[in-house]
């Protein structure tokens, strides 16, 4: 029997979808890459993994703050170097 998703889980999935779409657009603009590569890169990132985990609460941040986390990951190799992550988990 398949488990039913709670309302909060469904809300999080919808919020995640909207945020991922906006962040993908920022990636395309900032890195001058096509949509397919931007989507693949973001969905395979540690930033997306944190964002998709409800318990990290990264989804509370603005799209621009999450994009900064992504940029830090790309530039340094780790999301842990982001000012947003350091502030939360240091």
Q: What is the pTM of this model?
A: 0.85
Give me the phi and psi of 88, to 5 degrees please: -85, -40
How many helices (H) and strands (E) are present in the chain, helices listed first? 5, 0
Tell me what pLDDT residue 90 has.
47
Show pLDDT as tens, one digit a residue, over the chain (90 residues).
566 778 888 888 899 999 999 999 999 999 999 999 999 999 999 999 999 998 888 999 999 999 999 999 999 999 999 998 877 554
- Pull the structure tokens for residue 33: 């890459």
> What are the tens digits of pLDDT across the range 50-73?
999 988 889 999 999 999 999 999
Radius of gyration of the chain (CA): 14
- Residues 38 and 31 sit within 8 Å (Cβ to Cβ): yes
Tell me what pLDDT residue 49 has.
96
């Amino acid at each position: 029997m398949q488990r039913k998703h709670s309302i909060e889980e469904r809300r999080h999935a919808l919020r995640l979808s909207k945020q991922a779409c906006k962040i993908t657009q920022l990636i395309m603009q900032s890195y001058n890459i096509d949509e397919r590569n931007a989507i693949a890169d973001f969905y395979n990132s540690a930033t997306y993994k944190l964002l998709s985990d409800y318990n990290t609460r990264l989804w509370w941040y603005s799209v621009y703050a999450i994009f900064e986390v992504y940029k830090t990951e790309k530039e340094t190799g780790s999301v842990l170097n982001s000012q947003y992550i350091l502030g939360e988990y240091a």
